[in-house]
Structure 1
Amino acid sequence: MKIASGLVSAEFVSRPNRFVAQVLINGQPETVHVKNTGRCREILQPGTRVWLGEPAAAGGSRKTRYSLIAAEKPGRGVINIDSLLPNRLMKDWLAASGEFDVVKPEAMCGGSRFDFYLEKDGRPVWMEVKGCTLEVDGQGFFPDAPTIRGTRHVRELTALRRQGIRTIVAFVIPVNGVTHVLANADHDPAFAASLQEAREAGVEIWHMACDVKPEEVSIIGRSVEQSAQAMVCGKDSQDTD
């Protein structure tokens, strides 16, 4: 998937809050929007090379001209941190795969909204997509900060599965060379417990590996967990809380 053309390279300086960052563009300071409200502390370090996209409708109510969408991590290459990208990638992958007869984004089930409603041979399938940018020693971890919403979604998928409905949690990993995600129990034990409960109930866990460049990201592989064996890891994510 083509992300953008004409991205601007910059140097990361600081992140005053989760919505904005300070960068240097050709040595000149600029405040930019950060398209990820997660911590991203192991990625956004002072001096890190980052890439900025300019909104098509710059100005208006926007207070910043650029959005920070990707960063370079030593030994890992480019990491895309745009939190909206995983769903876009998954939509394209589902459409291209032909695996499902119906692919409907942002669908309601009772009082909950899931990322995708799918159908296969007339049977419903519900999917939630989680983007993973936290990498430690080649292993992906999710989340990088507590996620009440993510835990709720996983528990709702588990409840549906116990009713006999097929459900999927898909981790999209826009980090080169990372093919699998473990629950980050140190940062969010509730999410880790919910994911393990989902696994044991038969919710499918997909891991979507990606090829990542500053201007283009694509899903290049999928692995599906086949057993209920525990995959929860308590490895510290190197944050400094």
Structure 2
Amino acid sequence: MKFTLPLVHGRLIKRYKRFLANVLLDDGTIVTAHCTNSGSMKSCIEENAEVYLSPATDPKRKTKYTWEMILIEGSWVGVHTTHPNQIVYEAIVNNEIPQLKHYNKVQREVKVKDSRLDIVAMNEDETCFIEVKNASMKQGNSVLFPDAVTSRGKKHLHTLISLKEEGYRAVMVYLIQRVDVDTFGVASDIDPDYSSTLKQAHEAGVEIIPLQARVTPSEISIVRELPYSL
């Protein structure tokens, strides 16, 4: 996924009220940026760290910028949580994910049962339902999900389990917007219910694919699949 407009550089002053962040731009201006990440953002917050913002294209929007990434220990970490859906969608369409190749019809935001799943991919032989989550919380050499309790995430897992039982292919993709980790795991201490439900989904045949992406001020691109442990 390439950024269509040049990003704006600054330094983080603080994040507050979950969805807002104050940023000091290079010209000395202090602006308020929208933060799409509703989680705790553990390991992704460092005051005075370099950040990049994208300018809003809607002149009526209250916040004129969106927070895109932050520099943590010399590596960019993506904090925009709606990008993973688009990144994975584009990669499937372009046959860039080995496990999700050869689909000739790919749709986003599909209503299924009582959930709305991110992607459905189809070919002559099968229909594959895919949910995408952003994972960014670093602990040691691993990235863990979730960084806050997620009842919505648990609901999506139950939907995938149900679809798998009906004979569909069901896949849980975790997009990791940082390259300073080598494995993926579950934060069972933060959300034990999600952890147990993911194990249940795995046992039911729901596939788990953690994908690591490199984040730069010009683009975000998938680089490899990470091993995982539940």
TM-score in same-fold range (> 0.5)? yes
Equivalent residue of 1:158, what SS? Answer: helix
Kindly indicate whether the alpha-carbon contact (under 8 Å) linking 2:160 and 2:171 is maintained by their aligned counterparts in 1: yes
Out of 215-224 and 41-50, give the one that drifted further: 215-224
Aligned partner of 2:169 in structure 1 is: 166
Deviation at 1:44, TM superposition (A): 1.7
- Which runs of no fewer than 5 residues in structure 1 stay unpaired? 226-230, 233-241
Aligned pair 1:34/2:35, yes or no? yes
Task: Output the amino acid matched with 1:7.
Answer: L
Kindly indicate whether the alpha-carbon contact (under 8 Å) linking 1:204 and 1:224 is maintained by their aligned counterparts in 2: no
Aligned partner of 2:77 in structure 1 is: 79
Equivalent residue of 1:150, what SS? Answer: helix
Q: Distance in 2 between matches of 1:112 and 1:47?
A: 39
Kindly indicate whether the alpha-carbon contact (under 8 Å) linking 1:179 and 1:208 is maintained by their aligned counterparts in 2: no
Aligned pair 1:93/2:91, yes or no? yes
Q: 1:21 to 1:223 in 2, by over 3 A?
A: closer
Deviation at 1:223, TM superposition (A): 5.2
Task: Output the amino acid matched with 2:7.
Answer: L
- Which runs of no fewer than 5 residues in structure 2 stay unpaired? 96-100
Task: Output the amino acid matched with 2:139.
Answer: V
Aligned partner of 1:129 in structure 2 is: 132
Q: How does 1:47-126 map to 2 (within 5 A)?
A: 47-57=48-58, 59-60=59-60, 62-75=61-74, 77-97=75-95, 98-126=101-129
- TM-score w.r.t. length of structure 2: 0.90
- Identity rate of aligned residues, in percent? 28
Aligned partner of 2:147 in structure 1 is: 144
- TM-score w.r.t. length of structure 1: 0.87
Equivalent residue of 2:149, what SS? Answer: coil
Q: 1:140 to 1:223 in 2, by over 3 A?
A: closer
Q: Deviations over 1:137-158 (max 9, x none)?
A: 2311011111110011011111
Kindly indicate whether the alpha-carbon contact (under 8 Å) linking 1:4 and 1:53 is maintained by their aligned counterparts in 2: no
Aligned partner of 1:204 in structure 2 is: 207
Q: Distance in 2 between matches of 1:41 and 1:4?
A: 28
